Amino acid sequence: MSPTLTKSLNAYKEIETMPYHPTIHHRRSIRLKGYDYSQSGLYFVTINN
């Protein structure tokens, strides 16, 4: 295995085992409250890379 790949895999393992901390790891929903997203309609998706 290449040193670069080994380093990447080791970094992934560190991220994978990071403990959950609710005051740091939180996400808010960007969905509108009360809106039924299962109904038909037009939706726009923006993809950035």
pLDDT higher than 70, residue 5: no
For the stretch 9-43, pLDDT in tens is 666 665 566 677 777 777 788 888 998 888 888 88
| Domain boundaries of the chain, sorted by first residue | 1-49
Specify the DSSP element, H or E, that contains 3.
helix 3-16
Where residue 46 falls among pLDDT bands split at 50, 70, 90? very high
CA distance 38 to 41: 9
DSSP-based helix, strand, coil % in the chain, nearest 5:
30, 0, 70
CA distance 2 to 46: 36
How many residues does the structure list for the chain? 49
Query: Pick the residue with more confidence: 28 or 8?
Result: 28
